[in-house]
Each structure stands twice: as structure tokens, then as C-alpha cells.
Chains A and B, each alone.
Chain A
Amino acid sequence: MRRRYVAAVVEGCRTFAERDVYDAVWTSLVRLFGEYGASQAELYLVEYNEQKAQAIFRCSHKTLEMVKASIAATTDIANEKAAFRMVRVSGTLKALRTKVKSNKMLSREKLIK
């Protein structure tokens, strides 16, 4: 099965736990596309760096647009205002990590304000 990996950074006034980040995107996905749509997405949080506020999600390539919309539509995490900013999408985890490393948008100082 073909998959897509989405790298995103979390913006908020504090750091969030991995479980809260995953729940927030799941909630958004279910709200927008229902349980049937969410079941097709095969969304999974591959990794989350709490210090850098970086997350990598995996989803089915057919539902990439749905997952991207759900990530963008997330407005709160653990009942606190927050936002996701998508950085990159890739077909392999290795390529995504390489691309993300060279991304200037990921500096921690800019993210937490």
C-alpha cells in the first residue's frame, strides 16, 4: 500500500504531549470526514519531538488531501489554542527527514511565542 508522510510543526503557547497532538488531529479528521472517512485515512503519528514541536504523520496516499485539510483545520490541542503548520510531504520517511532538516521554517525560537 502506498503511503504519504506529512511533517508538521505545532504552534502554541506551551509544549504538548504526543497523545494530545495525535488526539487533536484525529478529532479534526473525524469532525470533517466522519468515522467512515477517518477509517480510510489510516492516520498514524510516526514520531513527535516534544522539544522541537515537530510531528510526522503517516497516511494513505489516497487520503492525503483529507489528512492535510484535517491538520490545517486543527485549532486546539488539549483545550488550548494551537495550530499546525505543514512543512513537507514525502513518499518515504527517509526523504522527509532529509527535507525537514534543511527547512528554515523549523527554528524553535520562531515557533514558540
Chain B
Amino acid sequence: MKYAADLHLCPQLDNRANVKVMVEKAAELGYAAVGIPASPKAPQKEAEDLRAVCSDAGIDYVSRVDLSPRTPGELLRSLRSLRLRTEVVAVKCFSKEVARQAAKDRRVDLVSFPLVHPKKRFFDFAEAELASEAQAALEVDVSLLLSEQGYRRVNLLSYLRRMTVIAKKGHVPIVLSSGATETMSLRTAEDYCSLAYLFGVELHDARKAFSETPKGIVEQNRRKLSPDFVAPGVFVVRRGKERPES
């Protein structure tokens, strides 16, 4: 895999040493870019610190916020204030209303679901259809498979397999992320792809979910956040002063 991005690395943000160790580990494992969720309250300040750590490790930093709104209204308010300041917006859906709103909102890049709660798994065909129209991707944290055991892992695999089938049928892109909170649960992208085999994602699709899909999301959002962006499909090619004299 030439380019691998882990959009969901979860170090302890209050522990700078831990952040540094995890970022360095990710770089050593061959990741070209990592996304570390910053606090929605002060995303830019945290993002600057994280960018510096990643830059020292020689890895690209993707600014990201994880939203866990309780109501659709709360989600809309958060999106209004954060969308223009963050490269990736992910929404963790704890209720069906929020899940539907997140899936149909074009400002949302990634939707994810609390996989360990059986009653909060809202990814169905209706959700997939909305997500597909709004070009949102489904995010799956693979390292959860490493922390769960026995009956809980069986349940988790079963649900992930169902989600994968729905996403494939509904043409929803899947983004595989580590979701790792410690260095020991961090693996190479190829190793995570092997784990994705357990819930029915083929190797080719798993590689895409670790490289092309996240890369596409980040590049598209960076273009949108650049000062040259005017509207979808319209960019400033050259500014007034640069115009050649006729």
C-alpha cells in the first residue's frame, strides 16, 4: 500500500508524551497521514499543537473533530461553527434522529455508530441511501476487534458484517480507521486489512478503505478550505495582481 491514512488515532490529548509516542509509532508503521480528534471547543489551538507533533515525526496531520450530539439541532449548530475550521468532521450517532440528520448533511464526512451498544446500531438501508446521496462515508474502528473477546466479539463481527453488506449495496464508501488508544493496539494498515477479512471486507476493498477513500476525503476538504475555493467546481486560478497585462 503506497499511501495509508489512519483518520482516527486516539491518544490521550492531555498527555503530550503519549501523543508523541503514538504519532511516532504510526509514522514507523508506515502511515502517511493521521487524523487525531481535537476537542470541538477549541479545535484550532489543539490542531496547531498536534500538527507540530506530527510534523516532527514526518507525518501529515489531518485536523478532525468528533461530534456526539444528542439532538439534530445540536448537530446543526456544531456543524455551523466547526465545518469551516476542520478538515474532517465525524459524527458518532447515538440516536436515530441524529443518525438520519448526519447522513443527509453534506457537511458531514464520516458517520460512525457505537458498535458495542446493540440497541444503538442505526446503520440500515435508509441510512445508507441518505449517506450515499450526501457522500458521507461509514467509519469503522478496527482496533475494537482487538479489545473485545468471546461473545461480545462474535456479536460485533456479526454486526460489522451486516454493516459492510448494507454499505456495499447502498454504495456508501467505508473508511477503516484504527481507533487505537494505545501503541499496542496500533497495527500496520495491511494488518488491519487482514482483520477486516473477519467481517467480510475483501482485501482490495480494505486497502481502498485505508488509502484512497480517506485520501479523497482529505484532499477534497482541503481544496474546499483553501482561500481559492469559491463554490463547488469553481476555484480562483489567478488573482487580480497576477493577471498578465494585455
Contacts and interface: CB of A to CB of B under 8 A. Distances in A.
A69 B190 contact: no
Given A73-B145, A75-B146, A83 B197 contact: no
A65 B201 CA distance: 11
B86 to A, nearest CB: 31
A68 interface: yes
B184 A69 contact: no
Contacts of A81: 184
B191 to A, nearest CB: 4
Nearest to A8: B191
Contact of B194 (A11, A82, A86, A113): A86
B195 A69 contact: yes
B184 A82 contact: yes
A71 B186 CA distance: 13
B75 to A, nearest CB: 34
Interface in A30-64: 31-32
Which of B30, B147, B190, B192 has the largest number of chain A CB atoms within 10 A?
B190
A101 interface: no
B236 interface: no
B187 A83 contact: yes
Contact of A32 (B28, B30, B198, B203): B198
A69 B198 CA distance: 7
Contacts of B183: 113
A71 B194 contact: yes
Contact of B191 (A31, A66, A86, A110): A86
A97 interface: no
A85 interface: yes
A72 interface: yes
B29 A85 contact: yes
A68 B194 contact: yes
Contacts of B147: 75
Contacts of A75: 146-147, 184-185
Given A32-B198, A65-B197, A86-B194, A72 B187 contact: yes
Nearest to A75: B146
A77 B81 CA distance: 47
A73 to B, nearest CB: 6
A75 B29 CA distance: 17
B188 A65 contact: no
Contacts of B194: 65, 68-69, 71-72, 86
Given A69-B198, A82-B184, A85-B191, A110 B145 contact: no
Given A75-B146, A85-B29, A110-B28, A69 B197 contact: yes
A23 B30 CA distance: 28
Interface of A: 11, 31-32, 65-66, 68-69, 71-73, 75, 81-86, 105, 110, 113
Given A68-B194, A72-B195, 20 more contacts: A11-B184, A32-B198, A65-B197, A65-B203, A69-B194, A69-B198, A71-B191, A71-B194, A72-B187, A72-B192, A73-B145, A81-B184, A83-B185, A83-B187, A84-B191, A85-B187, A85-B191, A86-B188, A86-B191, A110-B28
8 cross-chain pairs, A with B, having the tightest CB-CB distances, nearest first: A68-B194, A72-B191, A72-B194, A65-B197, A81-B184, A69-B194, A72-B195, A69-B197
